[in-house]
A = this chain, B = another copy of it.
Amino acid sequence: MARPRTYERGEVLDKAMSLFWRLGYEGAHLAALVEHTGLNRFSLYKEFGGKAGLYEAALERFLGYLLGQYREILTRQPLGLENIEAVLRSLQYGSEYYGCFMINTLTQRDTVPEGAYGKALAAGEEIEALYAGNLANALARGQIADGSNVSGLGKMLQTLDQGLHIQGLAGATDAQKDRVISAVMAGLRV
């Protein structure tokens, strides 16, 4: 009954994500978003309500990818150090982008749309909980020292994880990041 759309919502979000990722919210101008996504202004407003809505939708999509990866690896049975090492190593590679869209959102809290900061925050909390669950099991399995401060270690791992993304921005190679991870895992194991 009507002209069919020439875009697919997911593809548009992926392309918008890559632009926001590189350029930030203010830096990704509407003209560039229109050109890069192929979605014309009219449809962009109809579908997402505007630039802010597009950013939030792109961020949600990214966080979905990200949490999917963390959940997949950090719920493998049995929970423990293997999962933690696997997730740290996996997340460093295979991305065509630098850094992390979630972290960029956090660092741009005051320029990013209203709801974005909270969404990034919530994702971070779930990731921390996933780390903590694996650490608790690692403790029960005797993989880490008796009396370890599990909650402190959980935040430590997340801190390191986030730091690795900054290291990537600062030009650290995969080999260097690998050595960082090895150093931390060595300190963790009994």
Map CB proximity to B onto A74-112 as digits: 1 under 8 Å, 0 otherwise: 000000000000000000000000110001101111110
B166 and A103 within 8 A (CB): yes
Distance, CA A99 to CA B104, complexed state (A): 11
CB-based nearest B residue for A145 = B186
| Segment 117-170 of A: residues with Cβ below 8 Å from B | 120-121, 124, 149, 151-153, 155-156, 158-164, 166-167, 169-170
Contact (A107, B103) CB under 8 Å given A155-B176, A162-B166, A179-B151: yes
Instruction: Assign chain A's interface to a size class.
Output: 35 or more
- A15 CB-CB contact with B under 8 Å: no
Q: List 6 tightest A-B contacts by C-beta distance, closest first.
A: A187-B187, A163-B163, A152-B179, A159-B163, A27-B111, A26-B26
A121 and B22 within 8 A (CB): no
Residues of B within 8 A of A124 (CB): 170
- A30 CB-CB contact with B under 8 Å: no
